[in-house]
Amino acid sequence: MTAPAVNTPYQIIDDAMHDAGLLQEGEHPNSEQLTSNMRRLNDLINLWQTKGLKLWLQSDQSITLVASTATYTLAPAGSVAMVKPLRVLQGYYLDSSNNRRPLNQLSADEYLRLGKVTNTGAINSYYVRKLATQLSVSFWLTPDATAATGTAHLFLQAQVTNPISLTETMDFPLEWRIALRWGLADEICTGQPQTIMDRCRQRAEMYRTALEDWDVEDASTMFTPDARTQWSGTSSFR
């Protein structure tokens, strides 16, 4: 469903400036105000992507495996050509018979402790490096010819596309509009009377918190022990 035209940078900036007391009834932002507040709005959007799940930004990205090649880059000029995603949430391997099995995500410490990362075989894990312009994903074991007949799948959190036009529909669901509006109002209300600054801050926090709490999966979440670790111990009784 196409979002209505109210969900545009211009309308959010206009409303935020009224909320912050920078415009009076019937006034509209001038070109300089639109330019500076468009930058602030994009700054806000880019920061908010680091908070919460943002379910509408999640996607399943397949990676065509190459025998004896462990590392793949996700970037516009990477081995997987795409806009750099923010993070990898989960991963699985899909074999040539369409059977799936989960992959373990390794921390930097776990990956660096591997004895020999060039060993080939069936992949069971992956390690993600978050670089400035790309995500680099290294699989372990390095896929052999048999593993390369299947594909690796990464469940990604993508970036929100920053708006460049004042009249384009933003890459946010409509329910996020009020939070963006008051978040921007809170950013631009510096120097206004304390009551206005307090109102902007309180509403910005209230609306964003409400949406972050709402932006969760509908299914219940289950936790299972990490298969890579085990616990052992002894008990003594007297």
Same domain, yes or no: 80 and 36: no
Listed in order, strand segments (DSSP E) in 46-176 are 58-64, 71-75, 80-81, 87-94, 100-102, 104-106, 120-121, 125-130, 135-140, 142-143, 151-157
> What is the C-alpha separation between 78 and 72, in angstroms, rounded?
8
Same domain, yes or no: 43 and 70: no
Sign of CA dihedral 29, 31, 33, 37: positive
Specify the pLDDT at position 7. 86
Same domain, yes or no: 82 and 41: no
Residue 236 has pLDDT above 80, yes or no: no
The predicted model gives 94-99 an average pLDDT of 96
Specify the pLDDT at position 238. 44
pTM of the model: 0.83
Same domain, yes or no: 74 and 48: no
Structural domain containing residue 38: 9-53+170-214
Does residue 178 lie within any of the structural domains?
Answer: yes
DSSP label of 175: G
Same domain, yes or no: 49 and 70: no
Same domain, yes or no: 71 and 140: yes
Does residue 2 lie within any of the structural domains?
Answer: no
Specify the pLDDT at position 227. 60
Q: Count of domains in the chain?
A: 2
Does residue 160 lie within any of the structural domains?
Answer: no
The predicted-structure confidence for 209-235, as pLDDT tens digits, reads as follows 999 888 878 887 665 666 665 554 554
Does residue 79 lie within any of the structural domains?
Answer: yes
Does residue 229 lie within any of the structural domains?
Answer: no
Same domain, yes or no: 72 and 139: yes
Does residue 32 lie within any of the structural domains?
Answer: yes
The predicted-structure confidence for 122-152, as pLDDT tens digits, reads as follows 999 999 999 999 999 999 999 999 999 999 9
* Average pLDDT score, the chain: 91
The predicted-structure confidence for 25-64, as pLDDT tens digits, reads as follows 999 999 999 999 999 999 999 999 888 778 899 999 999 9
Same domain, yes or no: 49 and 87: no
Same domain, yes or no: 45 and 77: no
Specify the pLDDT at position 226. 63
Percentage of the chain exceeding pLDDT 90: 78
Residue 121 has pLDDT above 80, yes or no: yes
Specify the pLDDT at position 54. 87
Whether 5 and 37 have beta carbons less than 8 Å apart is answered as no
Does residue 208 lie within any of the structural domains?
Answer: yes
Does residue 223 lie within any of the structural domains?
Answer: no
